[in-house]
Structure 1
Amino acid sequence: MTQQVTRTPADTTGPGPSLWRSRNFLLLWGGQTVSELGTRLAGVAVPLLAADTLNASVFQVSLLTVLAWLPYLLFSLPAGIVADRVDQRRLMIGCDLGRAALMLSLPVAALVGQLTLPFLYLVVGLGGVLTVLFTVAYKSLLPRLVPADLLVDGNAKLTISQDAAELVGPTVSGALIGLVGAARTFLTNGFAFLVSALTLILIRDEPVRREPAPRVPLAVELTDGIGFIRRQPILVSILACTTWSNFFVMASASIEVTFLVRVLHANPVQVGLVFSVSAVGGLIVGVLAARLSAWLGSARVIWVAMAAPGPFYLLMPLAQPGWGVLLYGVGLAAFSANAVLFNVAAMSYRQRITPPAILGRVNAAFLWICFGVIPLGALTGGALGTALGLRGALWVCVLGTWAACLFVVCSPLRRMRDLPAVPLKGPTVSS
């Protein structure tokens, strides 16, 4: 979720180019599918490792979410400059190798008796920095590998991999944790990043020839992306909606594992099952994403996706011990369905209208704002959980998440069927 925080339609292009015949895209898709699976394993293992093995408090567990997302606030804008200046594929390979080393250090530390909460904080924080660099490069690389008329299809295929990983990953993670312990589970996560690096190495992509850019002050270069966004009313509405949503989504995410374990008395397998159920919504909608976008309209689908699933979010704080824990998964599934429609339409539009020379900086600006609020949301979730109790905090979070739809429902998007194919205002950029 710029994506909203955290799917493949059948090919709908008819005769002509197809992503199923694109070797480079299939390599990228396959590597990211494996990487997403590893990430979902870690998503359950990290908080369980902190809460159960290291006996962390509710607030200490929420700090892990803060550290994972704080790099987006600190490093997104510089990462955009880096992604526009270097070969993006090579940057992604380096980030994957670094993340693999960090994940593999956790079982090693546990083996020698040096696994502590500060060490876990360090690994999560450094991994977050590498993820920022990878994500900015990743969102800028796709338009080089995929024709503009297939961007929606490409983004949908990549997004469905996330939901497929969410469907399988948490359950597998819960089972692995039960069998080998939380620390050893990170061996699988490290291997997944190595597979992702290998697929990127195998991509045959000619490096982009970049014309020497005129020298401009660093402050100007850092804000090029923000300046472009400010001149696009549609991007501003999407940015505001996503930022608000991410704040409250991550506030709930920072306390949800603790809520499931300590209030609903769920065991690791049940926790994994909840997150697997949550992926069903996005998986189903991901298969239909391109068709739904064409049927509803690329503009209309954005505000419908944000508004319609909202009532189901209320099931999350209503969840009860036993089978009632699945209500939490149903609420998450509704948000997953929302995210796939919203993210595919919004990302494809942004990639289509942004000049390639500044796409890295525009993507970085989105990440800086949309993901930059996530650490604040995570801190808020921990604070609300301490002050109001976990169930009371969830009520605040789900209502806040649903309220994000107002930014797009009350915007020009509501009077449009389709998004324009070109910027509404001609941008000027410094390079």
Structure 2
Amino acid sequence: MSEPVLDRSVRSPNFRRFWIGQSVSFLGSEVSLLALPLIAVVTLNADATQMGILTALGYLPFLLIGLQAGVWVDRMRRRQILVWSDLATAVLLLTLPAAALMGVLRIEQMYVLALLIGAIEVVSSVAHQSFLPSLVERRELPAANARLEGSSSVATIAGPSVAGVLVQLLTAPIAVLIDAVSFIVSALVLRSVRVEEPPPLPPDESVGMRAQVSEGLHHVVRHRLLRPLFSCGATHNFFRRMIEALFVLYVVNQLGLDPVALGLVLAAGGPGALLGAAVALPLAQRIGLGRTIVWMQVLTGISCFAAPLAGGPPWLTIAILAAGQFLLGVARPVFNISQLSLRQAITPDRLQGRVNATMRFIMWGVTPFGALVGGLLGSAIGLRPTLLLAAVGVLLAFVWIAASPVRALVTVPDAAEG
């Protein structure tokens, strides 16, 4: 993909508004990414099992409504879904600092919030991925995705460090207010996007929800390129969620880092992600799309060993954890840009919602189990051994891609394949 293509996608007024709205939301979400688990660990004294449950509930909706979300997205205007999803998420987030200020915040409320926000995320993420091909041409998808990943990277740099300071000075519940405001701003910006979307799929009485879900599921499972992608993604997500469920608990309680240090560690992923978003396109051009996907999964696995290997003086602990976050930051944008652009390009417009939903249902549907297994194993055998086991699992996920036709791909297809 050439630089002029990248410039065209950025200069599109509708894409620019979409990009701005998502960028604002990215920043707020990065603040909550640190603040929410800190509320559970520091304010509510959650243990490993409770952290596992909290993380699992956030991903449970991928199993409950993951497939149906694709049909809903294909039946509705995707921009409207994104706007209402942002507003609903903002309202839910505002209940958390309100409860904290009234002194009635409990872990059960966080469970409910995790489940509801997770349900909204399932629908909005499918709409997001399905809406982008309406804003740019298919050959511009890698460039557009790279810009979005770049914004996410900037948010990853600023968000955790800002969150660490806010949590230290104002408490974690107050920090969540920033995320709520960011979703409101994002909704207002997205309302200004004016684009001709593909006509929504009519609710054909002769073709029910089950048949439409089945069509998307069969398309994904039988596709020679999509099948290894979701197999790798599911393996990766299962073991990564084991790490995610325990990471804050491990870093705060076992390694002894405070919220500011934890924020700095997480922020180290930002420069890496910015670098990854910048090199994704030239790297794929140089070594090929398939090999890029394979090697970025390998690099992701290597980065996960930083947590179980961290220790020693505080400066060394922070350095090891930060190095792991940096490597993870480099790998994931490149992997995401490459596989998502491939997925969007080979999927017909009428199936975009269902294919994206099915992929996410499979890849993210395993995450509640990963989080629960992580929490239970953390309580049974200890946090460090569990993190080490999970790192091995993330690393081995690359085999699905390396042994498939995806590895031989050089570029993203220019047109959708049926």
Q: TM-score, normalising length from structure 1?
A: 0.92
The CA deviation at 1:174 is 0.8
Letter in 2 for 1:305: M
Paired with 1:319 and 1:401, the residues of 2 have a C-alpha distance of 18
Match for residue 228 of structure 1? 219
The CA deviation at 1:420 is 4.6
Is 1:105 the counterpart of 2:95 in the alignment? yes
Deviation readout 1:314-346 (Å, 9 max, x if unpaired): 222111150122312211322232221211111
* Secondary structure at 2:218 match in 1: helix
Paired with 2:217 and 2:5, the residues of 1 have a C-alpha distance of 38
| Pairing 1:49-88 to 2, within 5 Å after superposition | 49-88=39-78
- Preserved CA contact (<8 Å) 1:75 1:129: yes
- Higher alpha-carbon deviation: 219-228 or 45-54: 219-228
Deviation readout 1:65-96 (Å, 9 max, x if unpaired): 11111111111111111100011101111110
Is 1:162 the counterpart of 2:152 in the alignment? yes
Paired with 1:288 and 1:390, the residues of 2 have a C-alpha distance of 34
* Secondary structure at 1:265 match in 2: coil
| Structure 1 pair 217–408 and aligned structure 2 pair: CA distance change class (3 A) | same
Paired with 1:199 and 1:287, the residues of 2 have a C-alpha distance of 25
Match for residue 316 of structure 1? 307
- Preserved CA contact (<8 Å) 1:64 1:124: yes
- Preserved CA contact (<8 Å) 2:6 2:143: no
* Secondary structure at 1:266 match in 2: coil
* Secondary structure at 1:332 match in 2: helix
Paired with 1:412 and 1:209, the residues of 2 have a C-alpha distance of 33
Among candidates 239, 244, 254, match of residue 253 of structure 1? 244
The CA deviation at 1:416 is 4.1
Letter in 1 for 2:327: A
- Preserved CA contact (<8 Å) 1:310 1:334: no
* Secondary structure at 1:209 match in 2: coil
Match for residue 361 of structure 1? 354
Match for residue 7 of structure 1? none
User: Per residue, is there more helix in 1 or in 2?
Assistant: 2
Match for residue 340 of structure 1? 333
Letter in 2 for 1:180: L
| Structure 1 pair 418–102 and aligned structure 2 pair: CA distance change class (3 A) | same
Paired with 2:119 and 2:306, the residues of 1 have a C-alpha distance of 34
Among candidates 163, 168, 181, match of residue 191 of structure 1? 181
| Structure 1 pair 401–16 and aligned structure 2 pair: CA distance change class (3 A) | closer
Match for residue 4 of structure 1? none
* Secondary structure at 1:316 match in 2: helix
Match for residue 298 of structure 1? 289
Paired with 1:309 and 1:226, the residues of 2 have a C-alpha distance of 28
- Preserved CA contact (<8 Å) 2:345 2:413: no
Unmatched segments (≥5 aa) in structure 1? 1-10
Unmatched segments (≥5 aa) in structure 2? none
| Structure 1 pair 416–17 and aligned structure 2 pair: CA distance change class (3 A) | closer
Paired with 1:228 and 1:138, the residues of 2 have a C-alpha distance of 20
The CA deviation at 1:308 is 4.3
Deviation readout 1:173-227 (Å, 9 max, x if unpaired): 1100111111111111100000110110111123433464642243221122111
* Secondary structure at 1:371 match in 2: helix
Match for residue 123 of structure 2? 133
The CA deviation at 1:361 is 0.4
- Preserved CA contact (<8 Å) 1:316 1:332: no
| Pairing 1:197-276 to 2, within 5 Å after superposition | 197-210=187-200, 212=202, 214=204, 215-276=206-267
Match for residue 3 of structure 1? none
- Size of the aligned set, in residue pairs, is 415
Match for residue 351 of structure 1? 344
* Secondary structure at 2:3 match in 1: coil
Paired with 2:82 and 2:126, the residues of 1 have a C-alpha distance of 9
Deviation readout 1:240-292 (Å, 9 max, x if unpaired): 01110011111101100001001110000011011001232221111111111
- Preserved CA contact (<8 Å) 1:281 1:336: yes
Match for residue 45 of structure 1? 35
* Secondary structure at 1:14 match in 2: helix
Paired with 1:269 and 1:203, the residues of 2 have a C-alpha distance of 37
| Structure 1 pair 82–416 and aligned structure 2 pair: CA distance change class (3 A) | closer
* Secondary structure at 1:252 match in 2: helix
| Structure 1 pair 87–211 and aligned structure 2 pair: CA distance change class (3 A) | closer
Letter in 2 for 1:314: F
Deviation readout 1:377-428 (Å, 9 max, x if unpaired): 11111112111211111100111100101111122333443455557xx74x
Is 1:26 the counterpart of 2:16 in the alignment? yes
Among candidates 386, 391, 396, match of residue 389 of structure 2? 396
Deviation readout 1:299-323 (Å, 9 max, x if unpaired): 2211122224543432221111501
- Preserved CA contact (<8 Å) 1:299 1:419: no
Q: TM-score, normalising length from structure 2?
A: 0.95
Paired with 1:15 and 1:397, the residues of 2 have a C-alpha distance of 39
- Higher alpha-carbon deviation: 209-218 or 92-101: 209-218
* Secondary structure at 1:30 match in 2: helix
* Aligned sequence identity (%): 35
Match for residue 283 of structure 1? 274
Paired with 1:21 and 1:420, the residues of 2 have a C-alpha distance of 23
Is 1:182 the counterpart of 2:172 in the alignment? yes
Paired with 1:349 and 1:418, the residues of 2 have a C-alpha distance of 9
